[in-house]
Structure 1
């Protein structure tokens, strides 16, 4: 009984904390920030950047991209599927913009979106990509690219809070799932490439 009471208290505290953080961020809205955050959250506008990134990976990794690119795609796809098809329907946690306690308090320049928000697929996808590149790109090189993809993932995740589409725990949890899947994919890539580079025993 005490455990149930403690669990309820913790969940209640987290929900209250989530709402306070969300309102604090959402209330910083300006017309300029509205445009930036709606742009950042729109997956379609990033397709040209994705195309350039893929072209760069093909150029840098040559034949190894035949292993690298499928693993990256699998990591991002799994992050999207797990968050949207497993977590969201299982936990059925309403998005902030569907939360009756926040009705009329949120500024929603990007609309509301689907009913459930735990976990954030945007955060999962973007951090899967950023983490995978961090782990597979050679150390000491590509600092600008690594920093750029993490800044992009952070902006994309922050935009979900700003737009009232997700709570902080939705975003942090999504980022954690994406990072974990990316780490597994990167480990497979490193293991396969290391095995392929070893000289055959005589």
Structure 2
């Protein structure tokens, strides 16, 4: 059963990765870059400050920093614990895939920290700011989905790596948002 799932995952990866085109490579590589989201992060920080004030925004920044640290480190733990090769290191896919950038990352790729972190942020801010901006959660989930897909497009993660990152990130975003909401009344203004 697991072998069949891995086989299907590889086939879906080859299909999705093969849809790419050199005309779009730079865009998807930019979306996948951790620096591409800096304007979004600044927007969320400014919006949080305007809606929540300085002290609550400080608590929010601490919460987000902890959430991303936990999400990122769990991803590293799984990468070495599960030891699933990235597509560019996997003998079944490395010769039939498109690697958009010259460096594909470390040897192991399960699960995607990019996907996990993006969905954690999207879920967290979608919950925290939904009363101030009705559709912020939808916008952030679309952004996180683009980041997640970009990892398949550029050839550094299999779809199950990304899907696992999506699920774990969403869980962490929800947990940390609920913790933030729980602690907020105890935090003096």
Q: TM-score, normalised by structure 2?
A: 0.91
* C-alpha distance in structure 2 between counterparts of 1:103 and 1:172, whole Å: 21
Q: Secondary structure at the match of 1:97?
A: coil
CA positional deviation for 1:195: 5.3
CA positional deviation for 1:101: 0.9
Higher radius of gyration, 1 or 2: 1
The structure 1 residue matched to 2:75, chosen from 66, 78, 83, is 83
Q: Secondary structure at the match of 1:45?
A: coil
Aligned to 2:8: 17
* C-alpha distance in structure 2 between counterparts of 1:122 and 1:98, whole Å: 19
Q: Please list, as runs of the form range in 1=range in 2, the aligned pairs for 1:60-79 lying within 5 A after superposition.
A: 60-62=51-53, 63-79=55-71
CA positional deviation for 1:196: 6.1
Following TM superposition, the consecutive aligned residue runs of length 4 or more in structure 1 with deviations greater than 3 angstroms are: 194-197
| Structure 2 runs not aligned, ≥5 long | none
Aligned to 2:42: 51
CA positional deviation for 1:182: 1.6
Q: Cα RMSD over matched residues?
A: 1.7
Q: TM-score, normalised by structure 1?
A: 0.85
Deviation string, structure 1 residues 64-100 (Cα, Å, up to 9, x no partner): 212222112211121111102x100111110011110
Aligned to 1:95: 86
Q: Please list, as runs of the form range in 1=range in 2, the aligned pairs for 1:1-202 lying within 5 A after superposition.
A: 10-62=1-53, 63-84=55-76, 86-111=77-102, 112-139=104-131, 141-194=132-185
CA positional deviation for 1:109: 1.2
